[in-house]
Amino acid sequence: MYKLNIKPKSKIIDTTPSLYGLFFEDINRAGDGGLYAELLRNRAFDDGIIPEGCSYDKNNKLITSPTGWTSSFDCFEEEGIAAWTCINGAKAERIKNDTLNVNRKRALQLQLNGGAILNDGFKGVPVKEGESYKFFMFAKSNSLVKVSVMLTSSDGKKIYTKQDLEISGDYKKYECQLLSSATDFDGRLAIYSESSEKIILGFTSLFPAETFMGRENGLRKELAQRLLDLKPAFLRFPGGCIVEGFSKETAYRFKDSIGPVWERKPHWLLWSYMTTNGLGFHEYLQFCEDANIDAMYVFNCGMTCQGRCPDYFDENLIEEFFQDAVDAIEYATAPADSFWGKKRAENGHPEPFTVLKYLEIGNENWGDEYFKRYEKFYTRLKKLYPDFIYISTDHSERVGLKTEFVDEHFYSDPIFFAANTKLYDDLDPSGINIYCGEYASTIGCKEGTLYGALGEAAFLTGIERNQNKVRMTSYAPLFKNVDYVSWEPDMIIFNNHENYVIPSYYMLKMFAENRGEYVCECNVITDSDRRLESGHFTDEQGNIFEGQCFTKVYENAANLHIKFWDRGTLGEDQNHYDLIIENGNSKIVHFNGWSQEVICKEKSYNLPSGKIKVEIQAKEDWFKICINEKEIYNHTLGSIPHISAVSTVDTKTNELITKIVNFSENKIDLNLETDVLIEQEAQLTVLSGSSYSEKNTFEKPENVKSVNQKLMIGKDNTISILPRSVNVLRQKM
């Protein structure tokens, strides 16, 4: 039996307008070739340069940072020029001298000899019949060389358009507009010449003529629109781990990301590829302005990623990063006649940007090293710029530091989210504010399943109930180019010409579109909730045992470590309950993604000597562990709500809005009990599917999506909630 007891007149808290935002990081090639509309890959020829300070292991195609962290590196420059191919006798060489400017470390020397060089973009240069593309390049030549710039088929044989340019003398910018006569998503940009004279390219670029809001150096329209459709309140940028960097040399510096794109330093991202920084600080602010949302700038506070052999910067370098943060703020906000304001004006925005509202000190940094840096940055910045809202990435208030917001991140399985709808219920509203800056159901949901969305939706009902404390949230990550994957799941999936969104996107859209002005009392009344855990057992050798019972005999074992309800992927995701007996102590720990929760507290326990028979029974919400027939644990886990719900009131339309998540596999008849009269006709938006693993694909992009329907609620005030569903019910009062 499930009942929702709703009191629309009993206001609990106001809703918080900033609750739903966006977090953009250049991961999975979300930037160049993604949201940033550039169509050429390796446009500045710097892909494959080993990042400064790192060493390269040719055999394993790995780079190692100065502190010892390794990462794949599959495009070493000696193995070819990434994305560029010569045809019909053309020759190309990457050169280190004679580059366009100090920030360009390579140039491309060509002898085309009646042939051409092709750029294959991000798995093809996508061109459409009747559409225009803007090309430019910086080139030089000691002779006068006639070249043709073309859009072609992948082998260069079919020419869709052609423009002639004459290159001579020192580096100059050459540009042309290309109108394609055909549609080909695996097209190429080709540069052709009859001549055998040398030419040197310093930088190249190809953009669709149409970008989001028609901006130069702009964004891919349909991807930007996906973001707007989520009705976000803010954008957090530019990361994420890329802010921290793989090494101090690869930490994010705002200064490298502004000015003419061909003068910007490239940036090797710790997601294993190079970006030309074309999508930089200015472009992020411009997007926020165009989208009419607030900007949240995350900057490095003097350390690299703590999960990747951290480098803690010395005082001088910390100071350099402090100055970089100050300069970024000045760039955004200072008048046009100031040093940084002038630069902003030169870049096309004389008026200060008014969108910058939040400053986040570091990303996912923690502990003493962080607190030292947080204090240094916070106190000085707050004095200089008191009006911004500052965000800490750890609970700095717990060590006595002034804290406005704490950014908490959750990557886990759907059960974790569904089980934690009350996570913030007991938080003191007069204390710090929470920003749930990154969250996603990751375990078992890599492709973005309905199951993932259900868990997240249940969690968000808890957050909505506590939105006076958790005042901002953002799902992470936003984008994935399917051809370059470094992290899954991601909310918007694209290739070079199409995109689709995962169920979490539809769920978030439903939540963000149905806000209301205040949260009212809404209680789920039931005694039917259960917890359904299942999975295999894994012993210390990695052997897997299926079923609900595990029995194994050990001989003189000193320690034991056995996993049950194990459903993680070995070496990658973790989701298991572990019996750990070591050094005379025993405990049960739940490892769930990045979180670890001790389920049964550590107690003193010595393994018997000789033969040890271990038996574990694990069923749904209960487990029992016996050693040599003696019970050492017998434990029942708390239930997981099958129905999670929250109600708000839209005072403008006089509607009661109720978000109801059915996390279970059963249809649930839900009795609605309200203390005011409600119209029987309601508007229902539902997201559901026939199994937890339902997902969207390029072939079936709308397999799981939200649908709107009218609903007549019967006299018994009971509605049928579909299994595995997220529902938004709007009822006139």
364 interacts with ligand AHR by CB under 6 A: yes
The encoded tokens of residue 471 equal: 């005042």
Of 83-91, 186-194, 238-246, 461-469, the segment contacting ligand AHR by CB under 6 A is: 238-246
Q: Based on CB atoms, which residue is closest to ligand AHR, 294 or 364?
A: 364
240 interacts with ligand AHR by CB under 6 A: yes
Residue whose token pair is 């370059």: 484
Which residue type occupies 98? D
What DSSP character marks residue 75? Answer: -
Q: Based on CB atoms, which residue is closest to ligand AHR, 75 or 476?
A: 476
Which residue type occupies 607? L
In whole angstroms, how close is the CB of 241 to ligand AHR at the nearest point?
Answer: 4
156 interacts with ligand AHR by CB under 6 A: no
Residues 518-577 that bind ligand AHR (CB under 6 A): none
Asked whether 25 and 239 are in contact (CB, 8 A), the reply is: yes
Considering only 124, 239, 444, 516, the residue that binds ligand AHR (CB under 6 A) is 239
In whole angstroms, how close is the CB of 22 to ligand AHR at the nearest point?
Answer: 12
The encoded tokens of residue 376 equal: 């240094």
Of 79-87, 233-241, 445-453, 639-647, the segment contacting ligand AHR by CB under 6 A is: 233-241
Count of CB atoms situated within 10 Å of the CB of 455 = 31
Q: Based on CB atoms, which residue is closest to ligand AHR, 197 or 438?
A: 438
Asked whether 139 and 114 are in contact (CB, 8 A), the reply is: no
69 interacts with ligand AHR by CB under 6 A: no
The encoded tokens of residue 466 equal: 């506590």
Of 60-68, 193-201, 234-242, 624-632, the segment contacting ligand AHR by CB under 6 A is: 234-242
Q: Based on CB atoms, which residue is closest to ligand AHR, 25 or 533?
A: 25
Q: Based on CB atoms, which residue is closest to ligand AHR, 44 or 476?
A: 476
In whole angstroms, how close is the CB of 663 to ligand AHR at the nearest point?
Answer: 24
In whole angstroms, how close is the CB of 238 to ligand AHR at the nearest point?
Answer: 10
Residues touching ligand AHR, count (CB under 6 A): 11
454 interacts with ligand AHR by CB under 6 A: no
Considering only 254, 321, 484, 487, the residue that binds ligand AHR (CB under 6 A) is 487
Options 364, 404, 456, 464, the catalytic residue: 364
Asked whether 618 and 564 are in contact (CB, 8 A), the reply is: yes
The encoded tokens of residue 3 equal: 């009942």
What DSSP character marks residue 182? Answer: S
Q: Based on CB atoms, which residue is closest to ligand AHR, 27 or 519?
A: 27
Residue whose token pair is 């957090």: 236
Of 239-247, 457-465, 650-658, 701-709, the segment contacting ligand AHR by CB under 6 A is: 239-247
Beta strand pairing call for 405-412 and 643-650: unpaired
In whole angstroms, how close is the CB of 475 to ligand AHR at the nearest point?
Answer: 9
**Cβ partners under 8 Å of residue 204, min gap 6:** 40, 43, 44, 119, 135, 136, 137, 138, 189
Q: Based on CB atoms, which residue is closest to ligand AHR, 241 or 261?
A: 241
In whole angstroms, how close is the CB of 122 to ligand AHR at the nearest point?
Answer: 20
Considering only 217, 363, 421, 674, the residue that binds ligand AHR (CB under 6 A) is 363
Q: Based on CB atoms, which residue is closest to ligand AHR, 85 or 306?
A: 306
Asked whether 385 and 329 are in contact (CB, 8 A), the reply is: yes
Site string for ligand AHR, 402-441 (x = CB under 6 A): ------------------------------------x---
What DSSP character marks residue 121? Answer: B
Cis peptide before 477 (omega within 30 of 0): yes
As a residue count, the chain comes to: 733
Site string for ligand AHR, 16-35 (x = CB under 6 A): ---------x-x--------
CA distances from 353 to 271, 342, 581 (A): 30, 13, 58
In whole angstroms, how close is the CB of 681 to ligand AHR at the nearest point?
Answer: 42
Considering only 476, 493, 520, 645, the residue that binds ligand AHR (CB under 6 A) is 476
In whole angstroms, how close is the CB of 503 to ligand AHR at the nearest point?
Answer: 18
Q: Based on CB atoms, which residue is closest to ligand AHR, 27 or 139?
A: 27
Which residue type occupies 217? N
| Dihedral sign for Cα atoms in the order 261, 265, 271, 272 | positive
Of 192-200, 236-244, 535-543, 710-718, the segment contacting ligand AHR by CB under 6 A is: 236-244
**Cβ partners under 8 Å of residue 457, min gap 6:** 507, 511, 644, 659, 661, 726
In whole angstroms, how close is the CB of 566 to ligand AHR at the nearest point?
Answer: 23
Which string of b and e fits 573-586 if b means at least 16 CB within 10 Å? bbbbbbbbbeeeeb
Q: H/E element holding 419?
A: helix 414-419
| Euclidean distance between CA atoms 522 and 728, whole angstroms | 14
| Euclidean distance between CA atoms 93 and 78, whole angstroms | 11
Residue nearest to ligand AHR (CB): 240
Cis peptide before 489 (omega within 30 of 0): yes
| Euclidean distance between CA atoms 103 and 549, whole angstroms | 62
241 interacts with ligand AHR by CB under 6 A: yes
Q: H/E element holding 275?
A: strand 273-275
Whether 364 is catalytic is yes
In whole angstroms, how close is the CB of 438 to ligand AHR at the nearest point?
Answer: 5
Asked whether 516 and 650 are in contact (CB, 8 A), the reply is: yes
Chain contacts with ligand AHR (rule: CB under 6 A): 25, 27, 239-241, 363-364, 438, 476-477, 487
- The set of catalytic residues is 364
